[in-house]
Amino acid sequence: MGSGVYANEISILIVTSGRGKQGGKARTKAKCRSSRADLQFPVGRVHHLLCKGNYMERIGAGAPIYLAAVLEYLTAEVLELAGNAPRDNKKMRIIPRHLQLAIRNDEELNKLLGGVTIAQGGVLPNIQAVLLPKKTESHHHKVQCK
């Protein structure tokens, strides 16, 4: 009827930062869970794969961190052992053969990865003692007699 403004016609839009009494303080930069846990392996991706794998209905917050840490440790262990072989031969690249030798020569890793076949890995060199040439006893006997 009139040109007056009624209270129910006015809408007030108040934009807040959602930080309570802090006001509009700047939000700290987002930090991924891998860097929080000081890991190289992706904690978020491990969590996603655990959820997607239908292992359990719910996955705890610590489970992907622990699993990523274990995977990182095992990877570092294998790479450290496998890196020795090319370094001895003055090579710069780790090939599957080096991985195979590193795993099969380590007792614990061999037990863990016993049923694993590494493509292009080859086999461990193993010559039966019977097939090796016999050492001549006369040479050793002459050295001892003098």
Specify the CATH number for the domain of residue 44: 1.10.20.10
- For the ranges 7-11, 36-40, 118-122, the lowest mean pLDDT is seen at 7-11
Position 146 scores a pLDDT of 58
Q: What are phi and psi of 3, to 5 degrees?
A: -95, 15
Does the pLDDT of residue 142 top 60, yes or no? no
* pTM given for the model: 0.69
Is residue 11 situated within a structural domain? no
Is residue 104 situated within a structural domain? yes
Does the pLDDT of residue 13 top 80, yes or no? no
Position 127 scores a pLDDT of 85
- For the ranges 3-7, 28-32, 52-56, 58-62, the lowest mean pLDDT is seen at 3-7
Nearest to 49 by CA among 34, 64, 39: 64
Q: Strand runs (DSSP E) across the chain, as ranges?
A: none
The range of the structural domain enclosing residue 72 comes to 33-123
C-alpha–C-alpha distance, residues 146 and 36, integer Å: 69
How many structural domains does the chain have?
1
Within 10 A of 15 (CB to CB), how many other CB atoms are there? 6
Is residue 106 situated within a structural domain? yes
Is residue 50 situated within a structural domain? yes
Is residue 80 situated within a structural domain? yes
Is residue 130 situated within a structural domain? no
Is residue 111 situated within a structural domain? yes
Does the pLDDT of residue 99 top 90, yes or no? yes
C-alpha–C-alpha distance, residues 50 and 59, integer Å: 7
Greatest mean pLDDT among 5-9, 23-27, 72-76 lies in 72-76
**Mean pLDDT calculated for residue range 100-121:** 95
Is residue 56 situated within a structural domain? yes
